[in-house]
Structure 1
Amino acid sequence: MQADNIVDVIALDASTNNQSLSGASQAWAIRGFRAQQQDVSFNGVHGVAPRFYTGVEGVDRVEVLKGASTLLYGISPNGSVGGNINYVPKRAKGGDNENAIKLTYGDGHQFSQQLDLGERSEDNKWGVHATVFHRNGSTATEDEKSTTTSAFLGIDRQGSHSRLYLDGGYIYNDIDNPQYRVIFGNNFIGKVALPVADNDAKYGAPGTYRHVTEKFGVARYEYDFSKDLTAYAAFGMRETKMDYFYNEYRLNAAGTSSVRYRYNNQINKAISAETGVKGRFETGDLKHEVTVAATRYEMKRYMANRTGSFSVLSASNLWGRNTVSDMSWQEPLNDVNINTGVAFTDVISTPNDAWTFVVGARYQKIKQTTYPGYNNTNGTSEVTYDAHAWSPAFAVVRKLNDKVSVYANYMQGLTPGDLVDGGYANDGEVLAPYKTKQIEIGAKFNTGKFLTTFDFFQMRQAGTMDIDIAGQTYLSGDAEVRNRGFELSTAGELREGTRLLASLMYLDAKYTKADANQGNTQMGTPHWQAVARVEQDIKSVKGLSFSLTANYQGSSYVDAANTTKIGGRTLWNIGSRYEFNGWGHPMMIRADVYNLFDKDYWNALSNTSALYIGKGRTAVVSWETRF
């Protein structure tokens, strides 16, 4: 599998699914909770990673933490609670054949070129790694074109008592005529049949685009005062500039379609910092690993978001009219978000690590100020949300033997609450941050050739709903959704030359405290998801291997009322890899075909009543040489 972005990387984990809503904006769900690029961390720091770009050409690996993670990372900038994704940047490793050239063609008619250069000093203390990437051409979606130019630089110094990491990047991404989601007008669901899925259909209007420029940098320093005491600090900055003209495609109850155009320009600036101390000591037979950390994230958004009106489409009016009258570039300060927090954890171990206990807590303060302008309804007044919360965490691990361990944990996630407005009886009230409370138990089995994990989890997330008190309507933070299920994953070598990776998730996601939808299944959350991949080496041809992947996603509801459902689907991918030496250098040729049988399907979105058309059959080939 040749992964270009986050969605490609996490596709081999059944606990995640694609929740993208356009060809220009990717999103995903972890354990049924939606997340976006804005919440990806970079080398453990929130707010620094590119905000609107999900390419992974400058990344060594992508770490996926499933479940609530406020204790570890703090509140996510965009409030994701299902899990956390962390970018680990590329580093110079030293040795031969570290430099590489890679050429890729496919997924429509896109051609990409990538150069990786790495070098370490003779004493191995200093390392420099650079990645330069360019891609352009039309995608597999009709009329959609994409151009990307990016550069990443990583510098590290490994001293006897200290470590320094400096990382930076520049990205320009231009997408023309992107595909877009399909939304539903009032009373459409349950009144008119959903359109038949057709992966050749286009719901993004011609002439639309998104232009994004991302610049970011982060520094991390660690110093060992002794073998048992380490201090660290990290500081990062990001600036994102986006020019976005897009459309909404709506299906109406009358059987017609409408299009509304939107224009959003913004400059987004973020500063993130973290500092902490890690120490080890013993009390009797117990070993302690204590961490105290403080974090601060500040984001300023200068934005002018303008919306046109819907126009009904017909044979003579295929894509409607653009009624956005003002598309000039403007930079009013829209909002400022500041998240600060302090965390404490103690990892307690008994002799031989037979038992491990984790206790910890994070104090999180959230302040959000929204300013008057194009995007707000608060007239000429600033509106400030200011709240705080404690998030405790507990975990226990029992090591039964060298191969088997069992564990249990209680974790919390946080999402900013609301400052009530809109005509409620409690307008002006500050609702506390919404907590997601997670309980998980599981087991891990490591036989040497196979690693298998199995767990049960339950996550309860608070939210808002209207309540009636003495004939008046109040906005309450007592709503709740509950995601409960189990996960099974295994990976290893069945026999020499045969490798298997498989995962399965069952998810029961319900609105447990809500208005009219209480007891219903959450929209866009299938009960069953499964992925299986087998890779086989061909013994008669050294360096040649083939792979087969199956990805199953069950049926899911399109709406919270559970009146309309889309069917499940299974997608098949095949691939091959050939590694050899040519002209004295290691080389690799890869070829992959995705959605082999050209399956037409819809993806139901979990955050809104909408659909996004799946991608049809595509192929990608690449050639890479190392020197």
Structure 2
Amino acid sequence: MHSRKSSRAQLSLATARAFALAAGFTSLAAAQGVPAPAAPMTVNLPSQPLRQALDKLARQANLQIAYPEGLVAGKLAPAVSGQFTVKQTLDRLLAGSGLVATVEGTSVTVKEAPAASEATLPTVKVSATSTAPSELPKAHAGQQVAKGARLGALGNLSVMDTPFNITSYTAELIEDQQARTVADVLVNDPSVRFTTSNGHMYENFRVRGFDVNASELAINGMFGLAPVGHSPVEFVERVEVLKGPSALFSGMAPGGGIGGVINLVPKRAANDPLTEVSLGYQSKGQLGGTVDVGHRFGDAKQWGVRVNGAYSDGDTELDGQSKKREFLSTAFDYQGESLTASLDAYHSKESFEGGTPAMFWFSTPSIPEAPDPRINQFRTGYGELKSDAVIGRAEYEFNRHLSAFVGAGFRNYDYSGFINGTHARQINAVGNYTGMMVGQLGSSDSVSSEAGIRGRFGTGGVQHELVLHATNLKQEDSSNTTSSSFTSNIYRPVTPVMVALPTTAPKTGESTLSSWALVDTMSFMGEAVRLTLGLRDQEVDTTSYNTAGAVTGKYDEHAVTPSVAVVVKPWGAGVSLYANYVQGLSKGDSVTDAAATNYQQVFAPYKTEQKELGAKWSVRGFSNTASLFEITKPTLVALGTSTRPTYTDEGEKRVRGIEWNTFGEVVPHVRLLGGATYTQGVLTKTAYNRNNGKVAVGAPRWQGNLGAEWDLPWIQGFTLSGRVFASTSQYLDAANTQEIPGWSQYDFGARYTTRVGGRKLAVHLNVANLFDRHYYSGSFSDSTPIATLGAPRTVSATVSMSF
């Protein structure tokens, strides 16, 4: 874990990288904003290949280091740790290598020691970024978010070099806030809201007014491999949110990913050995623990293993419900001079009994008051979700101009029970409803893969990073359901008799999402201007089956989506202005209305468009992003008459908005994280033109989050935290007759970190929904008037120790 007392200069490091064709000397140029070479600095470089050590030093100390490529190949640099000047650091790195370094200002030349041959190779300058495409970006000041994130096929980029609104939440934030799932992390993001009631078995999201489902999370940019349901974060180093469509960079998400992409970056073993154990409690009676073990091996610590485990069991805040969760992951990685590779495997299982949360479906404009979320509407419900996956990745750098990468993974997902479809339907003004229960049995197998080649070269004064990228995701689904109904009241529920589960689950569908893309990022004027151009060709092939195995639907269409984005730094590395035009993709619909004039017509994939302008600026460890965006999504609508309609894909939902994100240290020991979003969601063209101009479902005008942390100056290691998030009112139906009121929630936390017997000890206490407000938190669907319910007051405490 990075110390929050590390220098602001290091945390505000701005970066740039391009490659030029040549042989001989290599020059590593880093960015500005760090101490002068003559000043002592904090150095913490592990033993590693010499070329990597010089590369990291160049980035950290704002140097341009030139060296003979052939002379450093195969050499190992020793570990260097402490307070040293640049020259002292270089002397230690080069000790015993037969090489020496001369320092002139920020320019460094590495060559053979005088006693050796004076023969030299031709000098060619090649610049290097502070973050290589496969290198994890460092944390920003405050440690809550990172200074960069993964942009699909382009790899990891600095936030200031990324022409999108992107936020990467760190493992430090996950630990400090004691987050257990992805949803616990994304409560920090003002552009994200949730579309399932708290405690539901699935965590679905809405980003920029468009849905992102639990099955659409990516791992290292690949879809179809993340745990389904509650995605645990014990094995996660970063949770990244890229706002807006991103088909160009990662291919099409299974559900389209219109509002954005949520990417998970698995943990890797750090240079220092780690063993951490924690015990936790959550009201009303959840007890559990976690373990995190990491170690590196080899003469240069090139081999690493990281193991994470979690287990919890007990009663929850939902009256009468108990939950059990078990999770285990193992990550192996290799970090060589030219080759980096990893293998991740995990097992995730969650089960519950004694009830499940409801979704609230209204039949009247008179919305009854939100019930206490502890009330159990389906107290005889039970269910289980299980995900198992194996994921492998590798990247090989042939030279500084050409590299290749490949990834592949398999995930099996099994589910059974009343895991969704538990609706309180047709709720009237006094809370009476018809309950619907759906018993489910099924599974889904996913095979995901990607491959690409990345080239770096120069043409005149322009540096290029050209990426050719291919993806493939194949999924096969099996499922079966049973259902029944009952009558009840949301304030005084009955105890329903749940329907029996299916005994078999036949194959119901298979799909293949395949694509290739060509992306060129061009840098001008010393990387003051970065222009990205790209095209992706996406094919969507799906087949549906009935329970007898007969084909009931066939879909095979493709589309080409272009994208263009630009970043300009007119006043140096501290300010970036950006703009983008990107297209996303989602599966086109089929006409299933037998009365339609175009019955069984299959539409090509929908092209979603985003236009965005934004600015990013960073001042002394405190950063902001402001963006203005418009996203339009085609929809299937009926025109003509209701008895003989004609369906077209010319319907449209449009969301325009302004976003502001902020993070970092405003003053020493005080950190802020959050922002606000203003949106105008409009249904521009609807079925029979009935709701044209109406406000889009689930699109509040305002929503915002703001969290703060304060390290108390008079108690070392003690931190207080607080967070408020709120949304204004929103509509549940397209006709704008059903509206739920705005809401706000306040959270509080405290933690204390000390050392006992030389070991780190941390104690955390968190209270969510401090004032125990009962409220409808949002909407579930654009097509049905379903509201979700916020969480009750929840208290959690954790004690952890590192060995």
TM-score band (shorter)?
Answer: over 0.9
Is residue 304 of structure 1 aligned with residue 480 of structure 2? yes
- How far residue 200 of structure 1 moved from its aligned partner, in angstroms, is 4.1
Q: Which amino acid aligns with 1:234?
A: G
The residue number in structure 1 matching 2:408 is 235
In 2, Cα distance between equivalents of 1:316 and 1:345: 58
Is residue 211 of structure 1 aligned with residue 384 of structure 2? yes
Is residue 198 of structure 1 aligned with residue 371 of structure 2? yes
Three-state SS of the structure 1 residue aligned to 2:501 is coil
Is residue 14 of structure 1 aligned with residue 199 of structure 2? no
- How far residue 564 of structure 1 moved from its aligned partner, in angstroms, is 2.2
Contact 2:350 2:386 in 1 (8 A): yes
- Residue from 334, 340, 351 that aligns with 2:525: 351
Contact 1:366 1:387 in 2 (8 A): yes
Is residue 189 of structure 1 aligned with residue 360 of structure 2? no
The residue number in structure 1 matching 2:39 is none
Is residue 559 of structure 1 aligned with residue 733 of structure 2? yes
Is residue 124 of structure 1 aligned with residue 301 of structure 2? yes
Deviations 1:440-478 (A, max 9, x none): 000011113211111100000011110117983112111
Is residue 399 of structure 1 aligned with residue 560 of structure 2? no
Three-state SS of the structure 2 residue aligned to 1:52 is coil
Is residue 80 of structure 1 aligned with residue 253 of structure 2? no
Deviations 1:275-296 (A, max 9, x none): 1100001110000000001111
The residue number in structure 2 matching 1:408 is 579
- How far residue 552 of structure 1 moved from its aligned partner, in angstroms, is 1.4
The residue number in structure 1 matching 2:718 is 544
Q: Measured at CA, do residues 244 and 10 of structure 1 come closer, stay the same or move farther in structure 2, by a change above 3 Å?
A: same
In 1, Cα distance between equivalents of 2:734 and 2:262: 27
Identical columns (%): 29
Q: Which amino acid aligns with 1:495?
A: V
The residue number in structure 2 matching 1:135 is 312
- How far residue 252 of structure 1 moved from its aligned partner, in angstroms, is 4.3
- How far residue 320 of structure 1 moved from its aligned partner, in angstroms, is 4.5
In 2, Cα distance between equivalents of 1:232 and 1:604: 41
Contact 2:481 2:501 in 1 (8 A): no
In 2, Cα distance between equivalents of 1:95 and 1:201: 44
- How far residue 106 of structure 1 moved from its aligned partner, in angstroms, is 1.1
- Residue from 469, 473, 492 that aligns with 2:645: 473
Q: Measured at CA, do residues 518 and 316 of structure 1 come closer, stay the same or move farther in structure 2, by a change above 3 Å?
A: closer
Deviations 1:107-154 (A, max 9, x none): 431111101111101421100000111011111121221101110000
- How far residue 8 of structure 1 moved from its aligned partner, in angstroms, is 1.1
Q: Measured at CA, do residues 317 and 166 of structure 1 come closer, stay the same or move farther in structure 2, by a change above 3 Å?
A: closer
CA RMSD, 1 decimal: 1.9
Deviations 1:86-107 (A, max 9, x none): 11001100215x2210111114
- Residue from 330, 336, 355 that aligns with 1:159: 336
Contact 2:318 2:357 in 1 (8 A): no
Is residue 514 of structure 1 aligned with residue 686 of structure 2? yes
The aligned runs of 1:11-50 (5 Å cut-off) are 11-21=187-197, 23-50=200-227
Q: Which amino acid aligns with 2:352?
A: I
After TM superposition, the score normalised by the length of structure 2 is: 0.74
Q: Measured at CA, do residues 107 and 497 of structure 1 come closer, stay the same or move farther in structure 2, by a change above 3 Å?
A: same
Deviations 1:530-575 (A, max 9, x none): 1111211111111111012111111111222111211111211111
Three-state SS of the structure 1 residue aligned to 2:418 is strand
- Residue from 522, 526, 535 that aligns with 2:709: 535
Q: Which amino acid aligns with 1:414?
A: L
Contact 2:482 2:502 in 1 (8 A): no
In 1, Cα distance between equivalents of 2:349 and 2:570: 51
Deviations 1:60-91 (A, max 9, x none): 11111111111111111122211001110011
The residue number in structure 2 matching 1:503 is 675
Deviations 1:193-242 (A, max 9, x none): 22211324535312211211211011001111111100111010000110
Q: Which amino acid aligns with 2:226?
A: A
The residue number in structure 1 matching 2:237 is 60
The residue number in structure 1 matching 2:794 is 618
Three-state SS of the structure 1 residue aligned to 2:721 is strand
Is residue 429 of structure 1 aligned with residue 606 of structure 2? no
In 1, Cα distance between equivalents of 2:397 and 2:541: 34
The residue number in structure 1 matching 2:128 is none
In 2, Cα distance between equivalents of 1:254 and 1:557: 17
Deviations 1:281-313 (A, max 9, x none): 1110000000001111000011112232x3333
Contact 1:533 1:549 in 2 (8 A): yes
In 2, Cα distance between equivalents of 1:317 and 1:556: 27
In 1, Cα distance between equivalents of 2:713 and 2:206: 39
In 1, Cα distance between equivalents of 2:536 and 2:357: 39
In 1, Cα distance between equivalents of 2:395 and 2:403: 7
Contact 2:269 2:306 in 1 (8 A): yes
In 1, Cα distance between equivalents of 2:195 and 2:780: 7
Q: Which amino acid aligns with 2:369?
A: V
**Which one has a bigger Cα radius of gyration?**
2
The residue number in structure 1 matching 2:71 is none
Contact 1:523 1:604 in 2 (8 A): no
Q: Measured at CA, do residues 617 and 366 of structure 1 come closer, stay the same or move farther in structure 2, by a change above 3 Å?
A: same
- Residue from 377, 393, 409 that aligns with 1:220: 393
Q: Measured at CA, do residues 321 and 175 of structure 1 come closer, stay the same or move farther in structure 2, by a change above 3 Å?
A: closer
Q: Which amino acid aligns with 1:87?
A: L
- How far residue 51 of structure 1 moved from its aligned partner, in angstroms, is 2.2
| Residue segments in structure 1 that go unaligned for 5+ positions in a row | none
Q: Which amino acid aligns with 1:406?
A: L
Q: Measured at CA, do residues 408 and 107 of structure 1 come closer, stay the same or move farther in structure 2, by a change above 3 Å?
A: farther
The aligned runs of 1:263-342 (5 Å cut-off) are 263-308=439-484, 310-313=485-488, 318-322=494-498, 324=499, 327-342=501-516
Deviations 1:6-47 (A, max 9, x none): 111011111111211462121111111111220001122111
In 1, Cα distance between equivalents of 2:202 and 2:780: 15
Q: Which amino acid aligns with 1:79?
A: G
- How far residue 254 of structure 1 moved from its aligned partner, in angstroms, is 8.7
Q: Measured at CA, do residues 165 and 313 of structure 1 come closer, stay the same or move farther in structure 2, by a change above 3 Å?
A: same
By percentage of residues, which structure has more helix? Answer: 2
Contact 2:303 2:335 in 1 (8 A): yes
Contact 1:259 1:319 in 2 (8 A): no
Q: Measured at CA, do residues 537 and 344 of structure 1 come closer, stay the same or move farther in structure 2, by a change above 3 Å?
A: same
Three-state SS of the structure 2 residue aligned to 1:313 is strand
Is residue 597 of structure 1 aligned with residue 771 of structure 2? yes
Is residue 249 of structure 1 aligned with residue 424 of structure 2? yes
In 2, Cα distance between equivalents of 1:115 and 1:316: 42
Is residue 387 of structure 1 aligned with residue 562 of structure 2? no
In 1, Cα distance between equivalents of 2:714 and 2:486: 62
In 2, Cα distance between equivalents of 1:198 and 1:155: 47
The residue number in structure 1 matching 2:65 is none
- How far residue 180 of structure 1 moved from its aligned partner, in angstroms, is 2.8
Q: Measured at CA, do residues 133 and 306 of structure 1 come closer, stay the same or move farther in structure 2, by a change above 3 Å?
A: same
Q: Measured at CA, do residues 107 and 462 of structure 1 come closer, stay the same or move farther in structure 2, by a change above 3 Å?
A: farther
Contact 2:376 2:493 in 1 (8 A): no
The residue number in structure 1 matching 2:48 is none
Q: Measured at CA, do residues 259 and 606 of structure 1 come closer, stay the same or move farther in structure 2, by a change above 3 Å?
A: closer
Contact 1:603 1:611 in 2 (8 A): yes
